[in-house]
Chain A
Amino acid sequence: MFTVQTASKRAAVSVCASRARIHSLLHIPTLLQVASRQRSSPVLAALDTTSFAAHISDKQPWIERRGFGTSASKAKEETVAYKLADIGEGITECEIIQWFVKPGDKVFQFDKICEVASDKATVEITSRYDGVIKKLYYADNDIALVGKPLVDIAVEAPALAQQPKAKEPAVIELAPAVMPSTAAAPQDFSCERTNDVVYATPAVRRIAREGSVDLRFVAGTGKGGRILKDDVYRFVESSREKPAPVEPIVVATTVAAQSKASRSDAVRPGSGDHIVNLSPVQRAMFRSMTDSLSIPHFRFKDEIEIDALILARQRINSAQQPQADAAADKITLMPFFIKATSLALAQFPILNSRVLAEPGATPRLEYRAAHNIGVAMDTPSGLIVPSIKNVQDKSLLEIAAELRALVLRGKAGALTSSDLRGGTFTLSNVGMIGGTYLSPVVVSSEVCICAIGRTQRLPRFDGNSDRVVARNVLVTSWAADHRVVDGATMARFSMLYKQLLEQPELMLARMR
């Protein structure tokens, strides 16, 4: 949990450990690194809404990964014929290689029961229940059939009343669950998206999943709106009684809601209109965006050929020495963009200023000496813009190191308020995701913003000749507060920026 508060009323938000969009500077959200999979507490389960996870996405369904024992509220014993679950791969029978238990043994959930083999795979079958083994249905080397009883276990817990179709954590990727009442599109509990938070323990989620219940529509009666097992049972009962489409009962507790259009490509199955209050994060964004949109934007876009820059970076990286116990740190192009911004700002300090406009007083401009360049990044907590302070005094390598540190802190959700405060200019490298021509929104405590688009290899004429060569081109999209910045200033700034990046030696000439 952390509170983000900046002097300029950016977003006074208290965020729980779930996703929150604190800033939406751009129409396309910015990504600087992939948000890793969630590690939230057991109570707040799978809310990993990384739609940009192009890399590792383990597509984890809501399956409890830790061994939560079944809650034995009644001490009644019941012998269950534990069937050999579908082990996937279309296998219908397999040979028992080895038993790990015998009748009379006590087993816990997830203990090994036996090992079976099919043509190429050996599979360990684990117990689903806590209990005592009563009977083994097969001997060593017998062929066991999938779906038929494997062992008898005497179990205590009452949760068996549900008697689910025995499903091991699936080898099949995701189990789509369908709303019982509406014939809506099957929802999958993948990490791609959810809109709301529901509080329910993994055991309750399992029951819900097996009963094909969408927990967002279940009213929770537990502490803090938590959904209990009985709530799910009741819901199933009530939906059975009413075959007509059920109007969804208000979601248990909504703490954070996604607001980006790109995220909500889902999934409220059409079950009637309903009104929901804005979440705290949405309210903050509403305020800050409203502030920003009072700024008339002057927009300027220009192409930059970055071949020389790429070469310079390669040279710098190959000269990097490995540190004591780590590999050599390679820098990306971002430090170049950041430093060039600062060098250009030295010529055009107005773009690093801030508008002071109290109602009733005459507006004034505050020029700021420090170039604190904010870098938009996507973190587990949402879109955040920490800033690198005093870029004017830092070398490329120092900027790169600080950027790396910020990224790591951002990933770990450990950014401090000093990281997030005091920015004077903002850069966004949306090109990492895509987008060529962008329209960023100026932050209300600043007067200028730049969005860097995707690098493309494009044909260009070489100098004045008719010869066509391949060049690496990206587009920088600028936006400035037109109340204080005129078009010519923005254009000249952009031309200088372009020059610095196309001829990196010029950056060298200006470095202090």
Chain B
Amino acid sequence: MLCRILRKSDPESFVLYLWRNRPTIVIGRNQNPWKECNLKMMASRNVLLARRTSGGGSVYHDMGNSNYTVVMPREAFTRDKCAEMVSRALHHADIPAYVNERHDVTVEGRKISGSAFKLTNKRAFHHGTMLIDTDLGRLHGCLHSEAKDDIEALGVESVRSVVTNLREYSLSIDHLTFCQAVMREFGRTFGKLDVGRNVTVWDESDTDVVGMVEEERKRISTWKWLYGQTPRFVHRFGGVVGGKPVVAKVSVYHGHVTEVSLEYDAGQEDADDCGIFQMISDSLVDAPYVAADIRGCLGPISRESPAAAELCRWILEKIMEAASGDSA
């Protein structure tokens, strides 16, 4: 929806868009889902994955988190403008919020809102989260990937900060009061907001909006967008297989394996080992980096020999830690 608003709204206008959604991890435009979030936990807890078009790091959304977006002419854009507007809105709710040097809205040193930006030729938007009453335990759990240290990636890495909920500072704040405060402050900052005329609330009954949302949802749910937009990365992991320490390096580009390199730490590969390594490597190339597909590729090889089977099992286990995502 955001892209539509970005492209279709009047070039001179300032648009405020407020919403919230079911539990989802939203990663930045060029981030790495394997590195940023715990796909296994997300699958088990029914947390969706989404990739947005603006940059920045990963965030966790649930119904206790409210999102705000301000779309504005490109020339009017600065990083702090909207964050400061939201801080002022929170002041009216007696919450001492301020904007820190990373342009995040913070209370007492703890982050309550993250921001990301997108700039096009004429328009720009700033969107941010606001943790009102989010399940912080799940937030931390889902945003911590087991394979984090093993993956070396290009793209933007999230910067972790200590977070807190607004609930800690106010018993009366909720999504609705937050939205109202932000709308008022938006009107004050950017010009007259005629509540009767310029404010639209969308819900399930707006069929055309729902239609648009459905189209967008299809577009951004494809594996190609969610996983295939990941920049090049290398997943390095080691272990002991058949008594011998082994190191594997899987290179992935746009979500598909481009190269697998296996070697024993001490360099004691014999001809058989080389053969197996080669077979594994060949079978995995071009496979989507998803557990189910990897298992499928390695299946035939594991039948070759016990050693091969053990190797494949180990590789799969390691990859499963990171790549439990949905299949392509």
Query: Which residues on A are within 8 Å of B, measured CB to CB?
Result: 37, 55-56, 58-61, 63, 65, 87, 89, 95, 97, 110, 112, 115, 117-124, 126, 140-141, 168-171, 173, 322, 326-328
Contact = CB atoms under 8 A, between A and B. Distances in A.
Nearest to B54: A122
Contact of A123 (B30, B118, B155, B231): B118
Contact of B79 (A89, A110, A112, A328): A89
B11 A120 contact: no
A140 B115 contact: no
Interface string B184-219: 000000111011110000000000000000000000
B197 A327 contact: yes
B7 to A, nearest CB: 11
Given A171-B75, A327-B195, A327-B197, A119 B56 contact: yes
Interface string B101-130: 001000000000001111111101000000
Nearest to B74: A169
Nearest to A143: B154
A122 B53 contact: yes
Contact of A121 (B11, B14, B116, B122): B116
Contacts of B79: 89, 120-121
Given A65-B11, A118-B55, A55 B192 contact: yes
Nearest to B29: A122
B253 to A, nearest CB: 9
Given A95-B231, A121-B54, A87 B75 contact: no
Given A97-B229, A121-B117, A141-B154, 11 more contacts: A58-B75, A95-B156, A117-B30, A117-B55, A117-B156, A120-B28, A120-B156, A121-B118, A123-B118, A124-B118, A328-B196
Contacts of A126: 120-121
Nearest to B76: A58
B231 A140 contact: yes
Contact of B232 (A56, A58, A141): A141
B121 A120 contact: no
B75 A169 contact: yes
A95 B154 contact: yes
Contacts of B54: 120-122
B117 A58 contact: no
B12 interface: yes
A61 B231 CA distance: 37
B228 to A, nearest CB: 12
B12 A87 contact: no
B103 A120 contact: yes
Contacts of B192: 55-56
A69 B118 CA distance: 26
Interface in B42-66: 53-57
Contacts of A115: 29
B77 interface: yes
Contacts of B229: 97
Contacts of A56: 14, 190-192
Contacts, number: 105
B222 interface: no
A320 to B, nearest CB: 12
A327 B196 contact: yes
Main secondary structure on chain A at its contact with chain B? Answer: loop
Contacts of B197: 326-327
Interface in B138-188: 154-156
B73 interface: yes
A167 to B, nearest CB: 12
Given A120-B55, A122-B54, A87 B119 contact: yes
B194 A170 contact: no
A59 B117 contact: no
25 contacts: A55-B191, A55-B192, A56-B191, A58-B12, A58-B75, A58-B76, A87-B119, A95-B154, A95-B155, A97-B30, A112-B121, A118-B55, A119-B56, A120-B57, A121-B118, A122-B29, A123-B120, A124-B120, A124-B121, A171-B74, A171-B75, A171-B77, A326-B197, A327-B194, A327-B197
Contacts of B30: 95, 97, 117, 122, 141
Contacts of A326: 196-197
A112 B122 CA distance: 12
Contacts of A61: 75
B75 A60 contact: yes
B221 interface: no
Contacts of B14: 56
B154 to A, nearest CB: 5
Contacts of A65: 11, 122
Contacts of B9: none
Contacts of A55: 191-192
Given A58-B76, A124-B121, A97 B11 contact: no
A172 to B, nearest CB: 9
A171 B124 CA distance: 10
B78 interface: yes
A60 B116 CA distance: 24
B78 A122 contact: no
A89 B190 CA distance: 21
B119 A122 contact: yes
Given A37-B12, A117-B30, A141-B232, A170 B118 contact: no
B6 to A, nearest CB: 10
A377 B57 CA distance: 50
B50 to A, nearest CB: 15
Nearest to A140: B231
A59 B191 contact: no
B119 A120 contact: no
A197 to B, nearest CB: 22
Contacts of B53: 122
Given A120-B56, A141-B232, A327-B194, A58 B73 contact: yes
B55 A121 contact: yes
A155 B257 CA distance: 40
Contacts of A112: 121
A122 B75 contact: no
B280 to A, nearest CB: 26
Nearest to B73: A58
A141 B155 contact: yes
Contacts of A110: 121
B121 A169 contact: yes
Nearest to A53: B191
A110 B191 CA distance: 29
A59 B75 contact: yes
A121 B119 contact: yes
A8 to B, nearest CB: 35
Contacts of B156: 95, 117, 119-120
A208 B73 CA distance: 23
Nearest to A127: B121
In the complex, which of the residues A60, A97, A117 has the most CB atoms of chain B within 10 Å of its own CB atom?
Answer: A117
B78 A171 contact: yes
A193 B198 CA distance: 30
A124 to B, nearest CB: 4
A10 to B, nearest CB: 31
A120 B75 contact: no
Contacts of B191: 55-56
